[in-house]
Protein backbone atom coordinates (compact mmCIF):
# COMPACT_ATOMS: atom_id res chain seq x y z
CA UNK A 1 0.00 0.00 0.00
CA UNK A 2 1.21 3.49 -0.72
CA UNK A 3 0.39 7.12 -1.12
CA UNK A 4 1.17 8.96 -4.35
CA UNK A 5 2.28 12.50 -4.90
CA UNK A 6 2.58 14.29 -8.23
CA UNK A 7 4.40 17.62 -8.29
CA UNK A 8 4.19 19.91 -11.33
CA UNK A 9 4.08 16.94 -13.68
CA UNK A 10 4.21 17.83 -17.38
CA UNK A 11 4.12 15.53 -20.36
CA UNK A 12 5.02 16.68 -23.86
CA UNK A 13 4.83 14.35 -26.88
CA UNK A 14 6.99 15.90 -29.61
CA UNK A 15 5.07 19.17 -30.08
CA UNK A 16 1.96 18.28 -28.07
CA UNK A 17 1.79 19.42 -24.47
CA UNK A 18 -0.59 16.82 -23.01
CA UNK A 19 -0.28 17.24 -19.23
CA UNK A 20 0.10 20.69 -17.67
CA UNK A 21 1.50 21.11 -14.16
CA UNK A 22 -0.36 18.25 -12.54
CA UNK A 23 -0.30 18.53 -8.74
CA UNK A 24 -2.11 15.76 -6.97
CA UNK A 25 -1.95 13.87 -3.69
CA UNK A 26 -3.52 10.44 -3.41
CA UNK A 27 -3.70 9.10 0.12
CA UNK A 28 -2.84 5.53 1.02
CA UNK A 29 -5.87 3.33 0.42
CA UNK A 30 -7.83 5.90 -1.58
CA UNK A 31 -9.92 4.92 -4.58
CA UNK A 32 -9.38 7.76 -7.04
CA UNK A 33 -11.14 8.03 -10.39
CA UNK A 34 -9.91 10.16 -13.30
CA UNK A 35 -12.68 11.47 -15.54
CA UNK A 36 -12.84 13.98 -18.37
CA UNK A 37 -13.67 14.26 -22.05
CA UNK A 38 -11.90 12.18 -24.66
CA UNK A 39 -8.32 13.34 -25.22
CA UNK A 40 -8.03 15.28 -21.93
CA UNK A 41 -5.03 13.21 -20.81
CA UNK A 42 -6.49 10.63 -18.38
CA UNK A 43 -4.73 7.62 -19.89
CA UNK A 44 -1.49 9.53 -20.32
CA UNK A 45 -1.55 10.47 -16.63
CA UNK A 46 -2.19 6.84 -15.65
CA UNK A 47 0.55 5.56 -17.97
CA UNK A 48 2.92 8.14 -16.54
CA UNK A 49 2.24 6.84 -13.03
CA UNK A 50 2.78 3.27 -14.27
CA UNK A 51 6.08 4.28 -15.85
CA UNK A 52 4.94 3.40 -19.37
CA UNK A 53 5.50 7.05 -20.33
CA UNK A 54 8.40 9.23 -19.22
CA UNK A 55 7.68 12.40 -17.30
CA UNK A 56 8.87 15.46 -19.25
CA UNK A 57 9.22 17.57 -16.12
CA UNK A 58 8.04 17.37 -12.51
CA UNK A 59 8.20 14.68 -9.85
CA UNK A 60 6.29 11.52 -9.08
CA UNK A 61 6.54 9.93 -5.63
CA UNK A 62 5.11 6.51 -4.76
CA UNK A 63 5.24 5.59 -1.07
CA UNK A 64 7.49 8.60 -0.46
CA UNK A 65 10.13 7.54 -3.00
CA UNK A 66 10.88 9.53 -6.15
CA UNK A 67 10.19 7.11 -9.02
CA UNK A 68 10.67 9.25 -12.16
CA UNK A 69 13.52 7.01 -13.28
CA UNK A 70 12.31 3.73 -11.79
CA UNK A 71 11.35 1.01 -14.29
CA UNK A 72 7.62 0.11 -14.45
CA UNK A 73 8.15 -3.39 -13.00
CA UNK A 74 9.96 -1.92 -9.98
CA UNK A 75 7.32 0.67 -9.04
CA UNK A 76 5.01 -1.75 -7.23
CA UNK A 77 2.07 -0.91 -9.46
CA UNK A 78 -0.33 -3.39 -11.05
CA UNK A 79 -2.20 -2.37 -14.15
CA UNK A 80 -5.45 -3.65 -15.65
CA UNK A 81 -6.33 -2.46 -19.14
CA UNK A 82 -9.51 -2.32 -21.16
CA UNK A 83 -8.24 -5.13 -23.40
CA UNK A 84 -7.43 -8.11 -21.23
CA UNK A 85 -4.13 -8.97 -22.95
CA UNK A 86 -4.08 -12.49 -21.52
CA UNK A 87 -1.62 -14.98 -22.98
CA UNK A 88 -3.86 -17.15 -25.21
CA UNK A 89 -1.69 -20.28 -25.06
CA UNK A 90 -1.58 -20.31 -21.24
CA UNK A 91 -4.27 -21.53 -18.85
CA UNK A 92 -5.89 -19.19 -16.36
CA UNK A 93 -3.55 -20.57 -13.69
CA UNK A 94 -0.47 -19.98 -15.85
CA UNK A 95 -1.62 -16.49 -16.78
CA UNK A 96 -2.00 -15.58 -13.14
CA UNK A 97 1.26 -17.29 -12.14
CA UNK A 98 3.35 -15.73 -14.89
CA UNK A 99 4.28 -12.47 -13.16
CA UNK A 100 5.11 -14.25 -9.91
CA UNK A 101 7.43 -16.61 -11.80
CA UNK A 102 9.17 -13.62 -13.32
CA UNK A 103 9.55 -12.19 -9.82
CA UNK A 104 11.36 -15.43 -8.89
CA UNK A 105 8.71 -16.82 -6.53
CA UNK A 106 8.81 -20.55 -5.64
CA UNK A 107 6.22 -23.11 -6.83
CA UNK A 108 4.49 -23.41 -3.44
CA UNK A 109 4.22 -19.68 -2.94
CA UNK A 110 2.86 -19.26 -6.47
CA UNK A 111 0.28 -22.01 -5.96
CA UNK A 112 -1.01 -20.66 -2.68
CA UNK A 113 -1.23 -17.07 -3.95
CA UNK A 114 -2.92 -17.96 -7.24
CA UNK A 115 -5.41 -20.24 -5.53
CA UNK A 116 -6.30 -17.70 -2.90
CA UNK A 117 -6.83 -14.90 -5.45
CA UNK A 118 -8.77 -17.27 -7.74
CA UNK A 119 -11.10 -17.99 -4.86
CA UNK A 120 -11.60 -14.29 -4.16
CA UNK A 121 -12.54 -13.65 -7.78
CA UNK A 122 -14.54 -16.87 -8.17
CA UNK A 123 -12.15 -18.28 -10.72
CA UNK A 124 -11.34 -21.46 -8.81
CA UNK A 125 -13.22 -23.74 -11.22
CA UNK A 126 -11.66 -22.15 -14.29
CA UNK A 127 -7.95 -22.43 -13.53
CA UNK A 128 -7.29 -25.10 -16.16
CA UNK A 129 -9.09 -23.28 -18.98
CA UNK A 130 -7.49 -21.20 -21.71
CA UNK A 131 -8.74 -17.61 -22.26
CA UNK A 132 -10.58 -18.58 -25.47
CA UNK A 133 -12.90 -20.76 -23.35
CA UNK A 134 -13.90 -17.90 -21.02
CA UNK A 135 -16.57 -15.22 -21.22
CA UNK A 136 -15.57 -11.55 -21.42
CA UNK A 137 -16.33 -11.03 -17.74
CA UNK A 138 -14.31 -14.07 -16.71
CA UNK A 139 -11.34 -12.91 -18.81
CA UNK A 140 -11.50 -9.49 -17.20
CA UNK A 141 -11.49 -11.12 -13.76
CA UNK A 142 -8.40 -13.13 -14.75
CA UNK A 143 -6.73 -9.87 -15.82
CA UNK A 144 -7.59 -8.35 -12.43
CA UNK A 145 -6.41 -11.53 -10.67
CA UNK A 146 -3.13 -11.43 -12.54
CA UNK A 147 -2.53 -7.94 -11.16
CA UNK A 148 -3.63 -8.84 -7.62
CA UNK A 149 -1.39 -11.89 -7.11
CA UNK A 150 1.68 -9.69 -7.25
CA UNK A 151 0.28 -7.63 -4.36
CA UNK A 152 1.05 -4.27 -5.88
CA UNK A 153 1.13 -1.19 -3.68
CA UNK A 154 -1.02 0.65 -6.20
CA UNK A 155 -3.59 -0.65 -8.69
CA UNK A 156 -4.09 1.21 -11.95
CA UNK A 157 -7.22 0.50 -13.98
CA UNK A 158 -7.71 1.93 -17.48
CA UNK A 159 -11.38 1.55 -18.40
CA UNK A 160 -11.36 -2.09 -17.29
CA UNK A 161 -15.08 -2.62 -17.79
CA UNK A 162 -15.71 -0.91 -21.09
CA UNK A 163 -15.71 -4.13 -23.12
CA UNK A 164 -18.32 -5.79 -20.93
CA UNK A 165 -22.07 -5.77 -21.42
CA UNK A 166 -24.26 -3.72 -19.10
CA UNK A 167 -25.07 -6.37 -16.50
CA UNK A 168 -21.50 -7.70 -16.32
CA UNK A 169 -20.25 -4.14 -15.90
CA UNK A 170 -22.41 -3.70 -12.84
CA UNK A 171 -21.37 -7.07 -11.42
CA UNK A 172 -17.65 -6.52 -12.03
CA UNK A 173 -17.90 -2.96 -10.72
CA UNK A 174 -19.23 -4.35 -7.45
CA UNK A 175 -16.42 -6.90 -7.37
CA UNK A 176 -13.84 -4.14 -7.77
CA UNK A 177 -15.49 -2.14 -4.97
CA UNK A 178 -15.43 -5.19 -2.67
CA UNK A 179 -11.85 -5.89 -3.62
CA UNK A 180 -10.89 -2.37 -2.63
CA UNK A 181 -12.66 -2.76 0.66
CA UNK A 182 -10.94 -6.05 1.39
CA UNK A 183 -7.41 -5.21 0.21
CA UNK A 184 -7.44 -1.58 1.29
CA UNK A 185 -4.93 -0.81 -1.45
CA UNK A 186 -4.59 2.46 -3.32
CA UNK A 187 -6.52 2.31 -6.58
CA UNK A 188 -6.54 4.70 -9.52
CA UNK A 189 -9.18 4.18 -12.13
CA UNK A 190 -9.86 5.84 -15.50
CA UNK A 191 -13.38 5.76 -16.88
CA UNK A 192 -15.84 7.48 -19.18
CA UNK A 193 -18.70 6.14 -17.15
CA UNK A 194 -20.36 8.56 -14.74
CA UNK A 195 -21.93 5.83 -12.65
CA UNK A 196 -18.63 4.00 -12.25
CA UNK A 197 -16.97 7.24 -11.20
CA UNK A 198 -19.68 8.23 -8.73
CA UNK A 199 -20.07 4.78 -7.17
CA UNK A 200 -16.45 3.66 -6.92
CA UNK A 201 -14.55 6.82 -6.07
CA UNK A 202 -13.52 8.18 -2.71
CA UNK A 203 -12.22 11.08 -4.77
CA UNK A 204 -12.84 12.08 -8.38
CA UNK A 205 -10.27 14.03 -10.39
CA UNK A 206 -11.94 15.93 -13.24
CA UNK A 207 -9.55 16.71 -16.07
CA UNK A 208 -9.92 19.16 -18.94
CA UNK A 209 -7.35 19.69 -21.69
CA UNK A 210 -4.46 18.26 -19.70
CA UNK A 211 -5.25 20.18 -16.52
CA UNK A 212 -7.00 19.24 -13.30
CA UNK A 213 -10.29 21.16 -13.03
CA UNK A 214 -11.37 19.89 -9.63
CA UNK A 215 -10.65 17.17 -7.12
CA UNK A 216 -13.36 16.17 -4.67
CA UNK A 217 -15.66 13.50 -3.36
CA UNK A 218 -18.44 12.53 -5.77
CA UNK A 219 -20.99 14.56 -3.80
CA UNK A 220 -18.74 17.61 -3.52
CA UNK A 221 -18.45 17.66 -7.30
CA UNK A 222 -22.16 17.16 -7.70
CA UNK A 223 -23.21 19.76 -5.11
CA UNK A 224 -20.38 22.30 -5.35
CA UNK A 225 -18.85 22.18 -8.83
CA UNK A 226 -15.88 24.56 -8.99
CA UNK A 227 -16.59 25.53 -12.60
CA UNK A 228 -19.21 25.41 -15.31
CA UNK A 229 -17.14 22.67 -16.93
CA UNK A 230 -17.38 20.38 -13.88
CA UNK A 231 -21.06 21.25 -13.43
CA UNK A 232 -21.91 20.06 -16.93
CA UNK A 233 -19.53 17.09 -16.85
CA UNK A 234 -20.80 15.52 -13.62
CA UNK A 235 -24.45 14.45 -13.65
CA UNK A 236 -26.64 12.80 -16.23
CA UNK A 237 -28.64 14.12 -18.00
CA UNK A 238 -26.36 17.15 -17.91
CA UNK A 239 -27.13 20.33 -16.02
CA UNK A 240 -29.25 22.92 -17.87
CA UNK A 241 -27.20 26.06 -18.45
CA UNK A 242 -29.22 29.22 -19.00
CA UNK A 243 -27.67 32.40 -20.34
CA UNK A 244 -29.28 35.82 -20.53
CA UNK A 245 -31.95 37.33 -18.33
CA UNK A 246 -32.55 34.34 -16.05
CA UNK A 247 -28.89 34.44 -14.96
CA UNK A 248 -28.40 38.21 -15.11
CA UNK A 249 -31.36 38.83 -12.81
CA UNK A 250 -29.46 36.87 -10.15
CA UNK A 251 -26.15 38.63 -10.80
CA UNK A 252 -24.39 35.99 -12.93
CA UNK A 253 -23.72 35.08 -16.56
CA UNK A 254 -25.00 31.50 -16.49
CA UNK A 255 -27.62 29.84 -14.34
CA UNK A 256 -27.29 26.10 -13.90
CA UNK A 257 -30.04 23.78 -12.75
CA UNK A 258 -29.95 20.00 -12.82
CA UNK A 259 -32.77 18.16 -14.62
CA UNK A 260 -33.61 16.22 -11.44
CA UNK A 261 -34.06 19.46 -9.48
CA UNK A 262 -36.63 21.01 -11.80
CA UNK A 263 -40.21 20.54 -10.73
CA UNK A 264 -42.52 19.90 -13.66
CA UNK A 265 -46.20 20.80 -13.45
CA UNK A 266 -49.10 21.20 -15.79
CA UNK A 267 -50.56 24.21 -13.92
CA UNK A 268 -48.28 27.22 -13.64
CA UNK A 269 -47.47 29.27 -10.58
CA UNK A 270 -45.82 32.69 -10.26
CA UNK A 271 -42.12 32.54 -11.18
CA UNK A 272 -42.38 29.31 -13.22
CA UNK A 273 -40.90 28.99 -16.68
CA UNK A 274 -43.61 28.25 -19.21
CA UNK A 275 -42.69 25.91 -22.03
CA UNK A 276 -43.85 23.47 -24.64
CA UNK A 277 -43.01 19.76 -24.47
CA UNK A 278 -40.88 18.73 -27.44
CA UNK A 279 -40.22 15.15 -26.49
CA UNK A 280 -40.53 12.74 -23.57
CA UNK A 281 -38.31 9.71 -22.97
CA UNK A 282 -39.85 6.97 -20.84
CA UNK A 283 -37.31 4.92 -18.93
CA UNK A 284 -39.85 3.29 -16.64
CA UNK A 285 -38.17 4.43 -13.43
CA UNK A 286 -37.94 8.01 -14.74
CA UNK A 287 -39.27 10.22 -17.49
CA UNK A 288 -36.99 12.74 -19.18
CA UNK A 289 -38.80 15.70 -20.72
CA UNK A 290 -37.34 18.16 -23.20
CA UNK A 291 -39.15 21.46 -22.96
CA UNK A 292 -38.83 24.55 -25.16
CA UNK A 293 -38.99 27.64 -22.99
CA UNK A 294 -39.48 30.94 -24.82
CA UNK A 295 -36.52 33.30 -24.35
CA UNK A 296 -34.49 30.61 -22.52
CA UNK A 297 -34.11 27.64 -24.87
CA UNK A 298 -34.52 23.90 -24.47
CA UNK A 299 -34.50 22.60 -20.92
CA UNK A 300 -34.33 19.02 -19.74
CA UNK A 301 -36.18 17.84 -16.65
CA UNK A 302 -36.23 14.47 -14.96
CA UNK A 303 -39.46 13.28 -13.44
CA UNK A 304 -39.35 10.34 -11.06
CA UNK A 305 -41.68 7.62 -12.31
CA UNK A 306 -44.01 7.62 -15.24
CA UNK A 307 -45.88 10.68 -16.51
CA UNK A 308 -48.22 10.54 -19.47
CA UNK A 309 -47.63 13.63 -21.59
CA UNK A 310 -48.62 14.63 -25.11
CA UNK A 311 -45.88 16.27 -27.19
CA UNK A 312 -46.81 19.90 -27.76
CA UNK A 313 -48.56 20.28 -24.38
CA UNK A 314 -47.81 23.20 -22.11
CA UNK A 315 -45.59 22.54 -19.11
CA UNK A 316 -44.33 24.72 -16.27
CA UNK A 317 -40.89 24.33 -14.75
CA UNK A 318 -39.98 25.46 -11.27
CA UNK A 319 -36.38 25.73 -10.07
CA UNK A 320 -36.02 25.76 -6.26
CA UNK A 321 -33.50 28.46 -5.38
CA UNK A 322 -31.37 26.15 -3.18
CA UNK A 323 -30.64 24.04 -6.26
CA UNK A 324 -29.55 26.90 -8.50
CA UNK A 325 -25.89 27.16 -9.54
CA UNK A 326 -24.75 30.58 -10.69
CA UNK A 327 -21.57 31.13 -12.73
CA UNK A 328 -19.77 34.29 -13.87
CA UNK A 329 -18.57 35.02 -17.41
CA UNK A 330 -15.37 33.03 -16.72
CA UNK A 331 -17.40 29.95 -15.74
CA UNK A 332 -16.53 30.26 -12.02
CA UNK A 333 -19.22 30.00 -9.32
CA UNK A 334 -20.69 33.28 -8.09
CA UNK A 335 -20.30 33.58 -4.34
CA UNK A 336 -23.69 33.03 -2.72
CA UNK A 337 -23.31 36.29 -0.77
CA UNK A 338 -23.06 38.23 -4.06
CA UNK A 339 -26.11 36.60 -5.53
CA UNK A 340 -29.17 38.79 -6.02
CA UNK A 341 -32.61 37.42 -5.35
CA UNK A 342 -34.88 37.56 -8.36
42 counts as binding ligand ATP under rule CB under 6 A: yes
Find the shortest distance in angstroms from Cβ 35 to ligand ATP: 9
d(CA 147, CA 153): 11
Q: Which is nearer to ligand ATP, 68 or 208 (CB)?
A: 208
The residue length of the chain stands at 342
Q: Which is nearer to ligand ATP, 15 or 267 (CB)?
A: 15
CA dihedral 29, 75, 12, 197 (to 10 degrees): -30
Let me know: does 68 contact 6? Beta carbons within 8 Å.
no
For residue 292, what is the enclosing H or E element? strand 286-293
Q: Which is nearer to ligand ATP, 192 or 282 (CB)?
A: 192
Which residue from 2, 4, 9, 18 is in contact with ligand ATP, where contact means CB under 6 A? 18
Q: Which is nearer to ligand ATP, 16 or 341 (CB)?
A: 16
Q: Which of residues 167-206 bind ligand ATP (CB under 6 A)?
A: 192
Q: Which of residues 43-62 bind ligand ATP (CB under 6 A)?
A: 43-44
Secondary structure (3-state) at 134: coil
> Which residues lie across from 254 on neighbouring strands?
243, 327
Q: Which is nearer to ligand ATP, 56 or 263 (CB)?
A: 56
> Which one of the spans 40-48, 221-229, 244-252, 253-261 is the region binding ligand ATP (CB under 6 A)?
40-48
User: Is residue 74 packed enough to be buried (19+ CB in 10 Å), middle (13-18) or exposed (0-12)?
Assistant: exposed
**Would you give the distance in Å from CA 119 to the centre of its chain?**
28
Let me know: does 1 contact 29? Beta carbons within 8 Å.
yes
Let me know: does 264 contact 303? Beta carbons within 8 Å.
yes
Q: Which of residues 284-313 bind ligand ATP (CB under 6 A)?
A: none
Find the shortest distance in angstroms from Cβ 56 to ligand ATP: 12
State the distance between the two ends of the chain, measured CA to CA, in whole angstroms: 52
341 counts as binding ligand ATP under rule CB under 6 A: no
Find the shortest distance in angstroms from Cβ 333 to ligand ATP: 25
d(CA 174, CA 170): 6
41 counts as binding ligand ATP under rule CB under 6 A: yes
Find the shortest distance in angstroms from Cβ 20 to ligand ATP: 11
d(CA 264, CA 317): 5
How many chain residues are in contact with ligand ATP, going by CB under 6 A?
12
Cβ partners under 8 Å of residue 291, min gap 6: 264, 275, 276, 277, 278, 298, 299, 300, 301, 315, 317
Q: Which is nearer to ligand ATP, 38 or 267 (CB)?
A: 38
> Which one of the spans 41-49, 221-229, 289-297, 313-321 is the region binding ligand ATP (CB under 6 A)?
41-49
Q: Which residues bind ligand ATP (CB under 6 A)?
A: 13, 16, 18, 36, 38-44, 192
Amino acid sequence: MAELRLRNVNKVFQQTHVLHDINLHIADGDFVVFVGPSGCGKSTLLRTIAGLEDITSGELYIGGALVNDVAPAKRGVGMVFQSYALYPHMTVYENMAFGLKLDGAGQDEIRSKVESVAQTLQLGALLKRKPAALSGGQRQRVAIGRAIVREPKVFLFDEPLSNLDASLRVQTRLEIAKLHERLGSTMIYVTHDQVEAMTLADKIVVMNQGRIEQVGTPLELYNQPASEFVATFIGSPRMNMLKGKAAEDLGGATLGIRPEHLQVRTQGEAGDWKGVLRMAEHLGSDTYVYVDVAGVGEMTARIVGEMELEPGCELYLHAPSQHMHLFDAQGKPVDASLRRTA
